[in-house]
A = this chain, B = another copy of it.
Amino acid sequence: MKEVLPQLNSTFSIDCVLFGFDEGELKVLLIERNEEPFKDWWALPGYLVNENESLDQSAARILHELTGIENVYMEQFYTFGDVGRHPQGRIISVAYYAMLRLGGDKALKPISNYAKQAHWINVKELPPLAFDHQKIFDQGLEKIKRRIKHQPIAFELLPEKFTLTQLQNVYEVILGKKLDKRNFRKKMLSFNVLKDLNEKQKGVSFRAATLYRFDKRKYGKLFGKEISF
């Protein structure tokens, strides 16, 4: 830092709100802290930004370190900079969210020792969170509620092949309300971004549903037009 810029130097951190969907519930990834302050409290995964990485890179690195997951699109949604938000000094935190596919294959890797453990927690049963993380989480949830109406982010929570009922569940859980089955299907199919795989669900104890896949190429053609739920 040159002498022309004498002002406040502050520490920067990233906090991540990672959403997952499992067993019909919306989950968020929390860690149990192993360090003061807020030792033993639950918190959003987050860490300090390194010198030579952009914010986006830093968010990707932190996600990788905590979960082993790579190549996930993360989106910055707000920066929290209240003076007293961190008891150890002026720390400004840039918050990101991401939507993750859960399920068997992608278990969470052991994480760095600043946390004891990481768990997917139902967003309806959140424990008290460290720092201002409740506020960050709330704002992240608001963000995806708005975004899911206009952007194809719901698909990122589901396996590649999914049924329309599963997709509707994602919308219902995030928006917090029931949707009409026929109207939902009519509208969703009308966007023409779902590929019917001519394939049925397996391993269910009732009539199997048709599987679909989100078709990015077709979605690209919609560019500019507004999707709206």
Contact = CB atoms under 8 A, between A and B. Distances in A.
Interface string A1-39: 110110111111000000000000000000000011000
Given A76-B79, A79-B79, A48 B8 contact: yes
A88 to B, nearest CB: 5
A91 B5 contact: yes
A94 B79 contact: yes
Contacts of A79: 55, 76, 79, 94
Contact of A48 (B5, B53, B78): B5
A79 to B, nearest CB: 4
Contacts of A91: 5
Contacts of A8: 11-12, 48-51
B81 A94 contact: yes
A38 B12 CA distance: 26
A69 to B, nearest CB: 22
A76 B10 CA distance: 19
Nearest to A149: B226
A82 interface: yes
A90 interface: yes
A78 B76 contact: yes
B10 A12 contact: yes
Contacts of A78: 76
Interface of A: 1-2, 4-5, 7-12, 35-36, 48-56, 76, 78-79, 81-83, 88-92, 94
Given A5-B11, A54-B81, 7 more contacts: A1-B11, A1-B88, A1-B90, A8-B51, A10-B11, A12-B81, A56-B81
9 contacts: A5-B11, A7-B11, A7-B48, A8-B48, A10-B49, A55-B92, A76-B78, A79-B94, A92-B94
For the complex of A and B, the 6 pairs showing the least CB-CB separation, nearest first, are A7-B48, A55-B81, A9-B9, A79-B79, A1-B89, A54-B82
